[in-house]
A and B are shown apart, each in its own frame.
Chain A
């Protein structure tokens, strides 16, 4: 088999074409850089499309008490104060401008009565803050960026996957990719790279993520010498579908609860009232009536407990299921149909506000959500951790290597608020693109080492060495890893189990080197799955090591053996990097300090 490599050059290469990648590419191109974008799937299919609820931005269109300061404080509180405060501030300050810009590019959001962008309630946000389009905001956002981007002088390479990055001395120099269609290799020799590869959901068996989310950006950056941070913080979204089994994990938007949907156990009880965390006690409704008034826009009312942060809601659901009060298929009930008794024309209202949820349940589960309760349970949704980046520029610890969106760490701390992801993509996508272009402008061309390039080509072909029967199948190995991570490093964690998991991951890594596939290089999903495996194993190891290191419970990390918060861990980030001997090094590094103003805001909003 030939391993011919074609070489293509750009100033800036963007890896990933979801919200962050597209926004970065648009910005870098506008700054005058030549820009290439690689997408693992077709353009417009990235996971951004699945985002349903909205984009969080303190536009203050619905409640004029909102401001960037409140948004900042909400984000920090939601992240249990281990966020990078500088990123949280930049995000809160710049999100409104990024949303308005989308409108100028053709996005059509739902409107207020006076014709401005409408905003809705969401978990952890004090005021209605999410600009939205029914429950398909992500589609609106990605299509707007895509349609704008294709006229912005950017070159798109669809269905290309990166398997290795190269450095020239300390700085980044290029990326090695194969195309799905023919399995041909391309070396991208570039001055700067923006990683915008999204998440790691495929490391777990129950996930809302598609096949693409194998932690590519995380693993590529790590292998290239960059730091990863906060990898222990994996968000389990409280509401995924649980039945039928084949759709288990598919997301049910938090928007259902924002519109008044309530969680009940098998006894019909709204169990979320049973346990309210201290941090949120003063902001949470004391009874069902007050919660309903909040969802109806009553500014004096406080939010219902269903809209507490995702980590907390997910744990409460797990408790109900474990204590035997779950639904028939191992979830709990999410009921929006009940609002028909409270508002006029409830059925039409639900269909208008939650059209894709209506469609999804009707088609896939045979359930009419305007009449029946849904069954839901936690699903792996998002990783707060990622490539450790500079707050201003999004540059990693490797010069010229940038990261934005889900594959970057810092903004969300220990737990991400719903709606803060889409705004993250826009705010930091733009910044990454801007600074990557700036870096490229100031840099001479970099060169990739031909020996390393040849080695990357050989490594990618290894799964074809010998008959498929002579090695392991890639699908079975991937599945084994997913079950392992779900069971041993999932929502509830214990040191002993995680130590066992770590050993298992080591054994899986050895076995991964003997994975063999049939067929040829043309559009061969078995081969693609085999090449994703090393990335999945690296992020799984990173998650596990970081989770062991953080001996406390905070945000999305719940340790059964350390169920309380520990203030010492509130001041550090767990950082992972590749040691000189190739082993993964774990260290605790102090969080960036908060400014006096930031401290004052948090104090004031407590």
Chain B
């Protein structure tokens, strides 16, 4: 392990050091809680700079990790996402008097997990990254230990997550058994040269691997936990739960398929086709009947996983580019949407704000209502928001690959989705609310709203910068 290795994982090391520091701060006799968030954000900022600027591209740690533009792009996005998720969480935690260092510390550990997953060049690293992402999230979902809903969310996520991880691990074992190695390059060589022990073993192994990813990104029928967990978890956490694992999961899966399993994909078309179709349909239909905003967004996130699965089905340059673009837009808009929902909770007596809570928001907080509308329209794929472009790229890449019926289904689905995305909009603009005083908007939420505006509107009107960034990132692996 040389200094180049250390340099290549500088972001991870910075994050781990910050996370440990946060734990120390929290356990001090008189913890300065107001400094916790600032410390965590500082760590993330340094990590972002190092992720973008330090270390040359290449393989590190005896081929365990690989730094390339693709990994850099996804890492940067993950770091920004984590920072925004922390900012969304700060006012929420303070309001509910639960601000503790562990929250931020665990967020940072989870972020390290995400970074390791996309950098991984070996299934060992993928597994470690996945678990490092998951275990803190189990805790965070159940972070409000005095709320039984939070407890339940934690338990559900933990048991089902560990169950799925069992299959995932079994998949790795089978792949190792078949190819005799866990490194991407070794497996790719064995598979492409046909020297593996048995093709059946390889396929079964990848199938089980797929289960693990499908669980993380919430593809139907592995999605069942998602609505419950997102609903029960603290809202600031739902924002991260519905974005972080999807980002890491899809990014890693795409790379894995592109680098290792491209040759065997012909066996998977039917399965992924059906998974994608099922996921988007189930997600959208179930979202139609939700009154709780959190559950609605949860099902919406399931539906978006279905669209994203189209990219996995096709796995070529176009679809990979579309997926990265879509993911970028999706994670930032969803995060902001959850952030806004977390604000709405305050005004209501119940912990779960429904569509009701939106009533009259346009009069109380015109800018907040505009931001929420923007997020929902982008998620629904209204032109000229970036959400529309993302769908357009994605569907177009899928059609190019010859999946006309799947595209038609996806279009129909996205049109159905408009119905439930517009319900809060209608409530905000067209129905008077009981409460007319303006909600105070915490300063910490503003960066998330700005990021939303930049990505949903900015990248909608001037998509070129984001398109170039994602295109150059994707050309590293496809």
Q: Check if A and B associate.
A: no
Give B contacts to A, CB under 8 Å.
Answer: none
Give A contacts to B, CB under 8 Å.
Answer: none
